[in-house]
Amino acid sequence: MTTYVIVAVVSGMLFGAMDAMLNANPVAQRLLEVYKPIARTSIDPVAGIVIDLAYGFAMAGVFLLLYESLPGGSGLLKGMSFALLAWFFRVVMSVASQWMMFRVPARTLLYSLVTGLGEMLVLSVLYGATLRPVG
């Protein structure tokens, strides 16, 4: 349980750090300009931290629940399998919806797909390297 809490907190912090890095860099700022008319002008940092920590706990918990059914013979391979699963449900489906509903440049959608995959791989490799179901 202690390992789960530590890994969940670390992954929540990684979520926040990676989101900031992936959304605030100059390339991302240019690509994400399309959202400027509907984007908030300020962000509540406390709410952002709480949300990222909740994501960390949820993702680590789902990884543990699915651990035995994930493909791969090692924790790292299971982590990579989980990354692809999380990427599909978290990122690919969101990008596909944006593509259908909004006029978003293809390069912006591609950026979201690639950076989302990177983010899911980092988090899921952490889970695969550190978390094992008990019992």
The whole-angstrom separation of Cα 91 and Cα 73 is: 26
| Mean pLDDT (the chain, rounded) | 94
Q: pLDDT (tens digit, 9 = 90+) per residue, 43-72?
A: 888 999 999 999 999 999 999 999 999 999
Residues contacting residue 33 through CB under 8 Å, at least 6 positions apart? none
135 has a pLDDT exceeding 80: no
Q: Provide the residue ranges of all domains of the chain, joining segments of one domain with +.
A: 2-130
Which pLDDT score, from 0 to 100, does residue 128 have?
97
Instruction: Find how far residue 5's CA is from the centre of its chain.
Output: 18
pLDDT category at 126 given cuts 50, 70, 90 is very high
